[in-house]
Amino acid sequence: MFDRYAKSMGGRILGTVKPGQAILTIALLWSFALNAQEPAQAVIGKLNEKEAAAKKLLLEGIKNPEKIDERPPNVVFILADDLGYADTGAYGSKSIPTPHIDALARSGVRFTDAYVTASSCSPSRAGLMSGRYQQRFGFEFNTSGAAITQRLGRGLDPAAVTLADVLQRGGYSTGMSGKWHLGTRDHFHPRSRGFDEFFGFLAGAHSYLPSKRKEPVYSSILRDRKTVKEPAYLTDAIARETVRFIARHKDEPFFAYVAFNAVHTPIEASKKYLDRFPGVGNARQKAYNAMTSALDDAVGAILAALKKHKLENNTLVIFLNDNGGPVYTRVQSNGRLRLGKLFLFEGGIRVPMIISWPGKLEPGGVYGKPVSSLDVFPTVCAAAGIQLPPELKLDGADLLPYLTGKNESSPHEALFWSNGPNRAVRLGKWKLVKAGEHSWLFDLEKDPGEKTNLAKQKPGILEKLEKALLQWQKEMKPPAWPSKPNRRKVEIDGVAWEMNI
Ligand SMILES: [Ca+2]
């Protein structure tokens, strides 16, 4: 199975590794893969005339908020990157103080079972920006490094309507700061995808420290489409830009998408934050804790700006993380969840999520039913009073009736994941994880750490989940570009797991 898959995707088999050898082998495979030859593939180009007309018609079907006395709420959507599930106080950390994220959680609803649609950065972002399973337009894998993304023209299908498109059309001022990772060419740029303003970078990672050498546009820090020199620690700069955006637009409804690259690699912190952890001896751990502390300060600065302009009672704030904390960095903690980034076990896809909307949602709430990053799009539109045309088919649910208690059922019957030969489905308390033909079945209510595989004991449930997964897969498109199979391969319960990115 792996062999066939790898060959069909232009890759090669590089042998399995024992868990104990994983770190060294991963490092070797990583360096190999960076030099690997990319197979040729078609560029995802601009929309043709007919497609552009269809998208325009779809956007014109969006109904602006009805004239009401109340101004529609502002929306601040904060996204963290590669944050460990248990690395904030709100989610149980005892070693990294995060008072601002904790306060945000206390002011609204904290989700215990929030999922993203992928266990790596760019497909997860494609899902949440489009409100649709990213596999619907073939966005199964990461777009790869910035140079490859640029050269091979990968990105979020221009036909996809983004949350920013909708809010812009609905009369909101839309601004983004931070990491985009949905394509580097001009037609994928945030300014082409519904954002009025952009500060940040288009690639998947960036140093947090001022750049010493000239970078190509596709990997540099940009203000809109122009490279800028940024002297500040990047997490501070992203917060600063958001605070200024809020100040500029305080008198009109605004949407601020704040996509921190913290705490993604490189693990780099500035002295200000490192000094907060004098007792941590491991330099890498100390830097990671410091980066997380910087992220928390940044969240605090944004919340303070809302308060300063007396906007906190009319602003919906969402905090989410794009995928689980990686295992290979050895500094994140996903608590009791199994494994992390690049896996479809809980550590890879279950993430911290908070929604705060003072006056509309009770403070101090905890919501335990499964929700998805796909829910952000319809929830924000509902809060804004924007009516979406029926042709715009979203995969998520408006969470507001569930959070206010109007609807006591579950927002989702099932949630699905696919990453090459790795697939998963959650249906109620049951979770099926597949690596090729191998199946794990877990009862997440009794076994949130996914320790006991019930696949052999519960054949009926296994079959039901398999069937649901197959049905879902039929609706999806094949990957629009290949992953790099076997870049990283580890043995899980005696089974080879490809960490496709
Ligand atoms: Ca990430």
Distance 493 CA to ligand 1 centre (A): 25
Please give the Cα distance from 258 to 302 (Å, whole number).
10
What's the pLDDT at 69?
A: 64
**C-alpha distances in angstroms, 272 versus 3, 94, 232, 233, 269?**
49, 20, 12, 10, 8
Structure tokens, 448: 């949130």
Distance 67 CA to ligand 1 centre (A): 39
Options 121, 264, 381, 412, the catalytic residue: 121
Distance 342 CA to ligand 1 centre (A): 10
Residues 132/374, Cβ–Cβ less than 8 Å: yes
In terms of C-beta density within 10 A (0-12 exposed, 13-18 middle, 19 or more buried), how is residue 242 classed? Answer: buried
Taking Cα atoms as reference points, which of 258, 279, 294 lies closest to residue 87? 294
In terms of C-beta density within 10 A (0-12 exposed, 13-18 middle, 19 or more buried), how is residue 181 classed? Answer: buried
Residues 118/349, Cβ–Cβ less than 8 Å: yes
Distance 81 CA to ligand 1 centre (A): 4
The residue type found at 428 is: G
Distance 202 CA to ligand 1 centre (A): 14
Look-up of token digits 């792996």: 2
Distance 264 CA to ligand 1 centre (A): 6
Task: Using alpha carbons only, give the angle 440, 494, 486 rounded to the nearest 5 degrees.
Answer: 95
Look-up of token digits 């794009």: 322
Distance 321 CA to ligand 1 centre (A): 8
Domains of the chain: 2-43+414-498 (3.30.1120.10), 59-403 (3.40.720.10)
The H or E element containing residue 347 is: helix 346-349
CB atoms under 10 Å from CB of 460, counted, come to: 7
Distance 291 CA to ligand 1 centre (A): 14
Options 181, 189, 249, 264, the catalytic residue: 181
Q: Where are the alpha helices (DSSP H) in 139-219?
A: 146-151, 163-169
Taking Cα atoms as reference points, which of 160, 226, 168, 172 lies closest to residue 199? 226
Distance 325 CA to ligand 1 centre (A): 8
Distance 122 CA to ligand 1 centre (A): 7
What's the pLDDT at 489?
A: 84
Distance 120 CA to ligand 1 centre (A): 5
pLDDT in single tens digits along all 501 residues of the chain: 333 223 333 332 333 434 434 443 443 344 334 434 444 466 899 999 999 999 999 999 998 776 666 789 999 999 999 999 999 999 999 999 999 999 999 999 999 999 999 999 999 999 999 999 999 999 999 999 899 999 999 999 999 999 999 999 999 999 999 999 999 999 999 999 999 999 999 999 999 999 888 999 999 999 999 999 999 999 999 999 999 999 999 999 999 999 999 999 999 999 999 999 999 999 999 999 999 999 999 999 999 999 999 999 999 999 999 999 999 999 999 999 999 999 999 999 999 999 999 999 999 999 999 999 999 999 999 999 999 999 999 999 999 999 999 999 999 999 999 999 999 999 999 999 999 999 999 999 999 999 999 999 999 999 999 999 999 999 999 999 998 765 678 999 999 998 888
Residues 98/292, Cβ–Cβ less than 8 Å: yes
Helix (H, G, I), strand (E, B) or coil at 109: strand
In terms of C-beta density within 10 A (0-12 exposed, 13-18 middle, 19 or more buried), how is residue 212 classed? Answer: exposed
Distance 45 CA to ligand 1 centre (A): 25
Distance 30 CA to ligand 1 centre (A): 17
Phi, psi of 62 (to 5 degrees): -80, 125
Distance 350 CA to ligand 1 centre (A): 12
Active site residue 381: no
Distance 53 CA to ligand 1 centre (A): 34
The H or E element containing residue 191 is: none
Please give the Cα distance from 343 to 327 (Å, whole number).
10
Tell me the Cα Rg of the chain: 21
Task: Using alpha carbons only, give the angle 305, 195, 350 rounded to the nearest 5 degrees.
Answer: 75
Pairing of strands 438-443, 430-435: antiparallel
Distance 121 CA to ligand 1 centre (A): 4
The H or E element containing residue 346 is: helix 346-349
